[in-house]
């Protein structure tokens, strides 16, 4: 059950860090990403020994969370494009193992609770071989864009 990620979130290359949604239900979403060796940031992080920046791994989690929020909004009758997810808080980030060019990861996001217009979520990343990469807690608000 693969969903096209660009139908769910506004992010686009070169700032799109989720390849596809592989499964979801009312409280969770799992996405997949392959980190391509030709991605430009590897030229500077670190030359000769490239490693995926932790902040981009976190961004992959937040984008998977945005896809989850989009699916929930659509299920509630909100038309695609009527809102965007805005990150409100990040806490308890734990980096456990590095991700290298060519690695494939699975990103899981879990809804913890909704309160006052915010959705509290937890995310974790692991390589497809099961190696734990990171976990993070965060909050997201769904906002309707204001006219320009």
81 inside domain: yes
In Å, what is the CA distance from 88 to each residue of 7, 19, 35, 62, 127? Answer: 23, 24, 26, 11, 27
18 inside domain: yes
148 inside domain: no
pLDDT of residue 142: 85
Q: Provide the pLDDT confidence category of residue 64 given band limits of 50, 70 and 90.
A: very high
CA–CA separation, 135 vs 124, rounded Å?
A: 4
pLDDT of residue 94: 98
Q: Provide the pLDDT confidence category of residue 133 given band limits of 50, 70 and 90.
A: very high
Q: What is the model's pTM?
A: 0.94
The number of domains in the chain is: 1
Q: Are 27 and 21 in contact (CB under 8 A)?
A: no
27 inside domain: yes
Residue positions annotated with a catalytic role? 45
Assess whether pLDDT exceeds 90 at residue 21: yes
CA–CA separation, 25 vs 140, rounded Å?
A: 18
Give the domain range for residue 110.
Answer: 3-143
DSSP state of 81: T
């Amino acid at each position: 059950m693969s969903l096209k990620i660009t139908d769910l979130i506004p992010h686009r290359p070169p700032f799109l860090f989720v390849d596809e949604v592989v499964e979801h239900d009312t409280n969770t979403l799992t996405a997949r990403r392959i980190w391509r060796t030709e991605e430009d940031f590897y030229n500077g992080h670190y030359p000769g020994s490239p490693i995926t920046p932790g902040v981009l791994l976190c961004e992959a989690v937040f984008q998977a969370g945005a896809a989850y929020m989009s699916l929930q909004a659509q299920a509630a009758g909100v038309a695609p494009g009527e809102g965007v997810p805005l990150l409100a808080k990040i806490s308890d980030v734990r980096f456990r193992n590095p991700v290298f060019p060519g690695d494939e990861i699975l990103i899981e996001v879990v809804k913890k609770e909704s309160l006052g217009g915010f959705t509290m979520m937890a995310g974790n990343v692991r390589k497809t071989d099961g190696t734990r990469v990171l976990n993070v807690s965060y909050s997201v608000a769904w906002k309707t864009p204001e006219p320009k």
